[in-house]
Amino acid sequence: MVLVQVVPCLFLGFLKSKHKMKYLDLLFVNIAYAAPADLNTLVKNIEVNIINPIIGVFFALALIIFLWGVTRFLMNADNDTEREQGKNHMIWGLVGMFIMVSVIGIIKIIMSIIGVDDIKI
């Protein structure tokens, strides 16, 4: 889509100035309708396209850290320092998952306060 819009712009130098504006209006008409209609749509788009993927990545990272701690704890039954590091990884993984669940709750509260409908997290 961008290539379709950029390539014709290269040839605008050959058009007279009164024809350039008509051509640009026809060329970029779909961009004018890309803006969200209201605040609800904007907030939903930000939530769905930016915030939810970030929360998912951080939650997955916390889960990986937790599972890494479990494996270190179980695999090193005879080494106390490795077991302690495994415990620390498990604790920090749980803390990270708790923080991500809390962030989801805080986002839901904020969205309900500002009046955004159909919250899907």
The two three-digit tokens of residue 72, written as one number: 């270190």
For 59-73, the pLDDT digits (tens) are 999 999 999 999 999
- Tell me the pLDDT tens digit for each residue of 87-97: 999 999 999 99
Q: Say which residue, 63 or 118, is predicted with more confidence.
A: 63
Residue 11 has pLDDT above 50, yes or no: no
The secondary structure of 18-87 as a DSSP string is HHHHHHHHHHTHHHHT-S-SSHHHHHHHHIIIIIHHHHHHHHHHHHHHHHHHHHHHHH-SS-HHHHHHHH
Residue 17 confidence (pLDDT): 59
> For residue 65, which of 87, 48, 89 has the smallest C-alpha distance?
89
Q: What would the mean pLDDT of 74-84 be, rounded to a whole number? A: 91
Q: Say what the pLDDT of residue 25 is.
A: 55
